[in-house]
Amino acid sequence: MHRIVPASLLLLLVAACYPHAAQAQVRRCTADDGSLVFTDRKCTDIGTTERAYSSGSTGSTGVTGRNAYRGCSRTVQDLAYELGNAIQMEDVNQLAGLYDFSGASTASGYRLMKRLELIASRPLVDVQPMYSGGHDPYNDPYAGMIEFDEDGAVIQRPAVKPRLIGLRLEQTLSNGSTPSRTVFGLRKNMGCWWVHF
């Protein structure tokens, strides 16, 4: 004997099988200029590409619904992602795990932790890379001017790629509207990237 299952019962069964389908997923995208973009839309919808997550990540689950990596950041992009994730989770310990404390005294370490605690408590707007610029690599007083050789041809100088020098955190204070900015320097130590003041 066959029974007809009501459509509403089928819908309930399907919804029970996929409890996480209704939750918003935060995607981490990379724009053409290398900047990180966090969105709940598909990366392709906003003209960016999806950033792959580290396959060997370990640690606690963060706001992205994926594991937060708690180890060595081999690239600055990974460091920027971990920095953003630590702040979104308001986890000062995870943020401190990204900071290079080498050479800091005990008193200095306590002061740094208080500063990191304030940063971790503020809402995150964006993490952006900072590049060097405005300097002349040739120490040439005529930089920016077009030069010609004896045959009248333009002398081409190689383009100088800007050097990544830091990460800038754009946040708001607890009122949600007053902007706050923190600039971290970058340091590479033992094959890992770290932030520092």
60-71, pLDDT tens digit by residue?
Answer: 334 444 444 456
Q: Is the pLDDT of residue 164 over 70?
A: yes
Spatial distance between the Cα atoms of 32 and 92, rounded to a whole number of angstroms = 31
The whole-model pTM stands at 0.54
Find out whether 37 and 51 touch, Cβ atoms under 8 Å: no
Question: What's the pLDDT tens digit per position in 101-133?
Answer: 988 899 999 999 999 999 999 999 999 998 886
Across 98-102, 159-163, 171-175, least confident range: 159-163
Complete edge-to-edge strand list for the sheet that includes strand 164-172:
124-131, 164-172, 179-189, 192-196
Q: Is the pLDDT of residue 50 over 70?
A: yes
Helix (H) or strand (E) holding 165: strand 164-172
Q: Is the pLDDT of residue 191 over 70?
A: yes
Find out whether 172 and 179 touch, Cβ atoms under 8 Å: yes
Helix (H) or strand (E) holding 76: helix 76-88
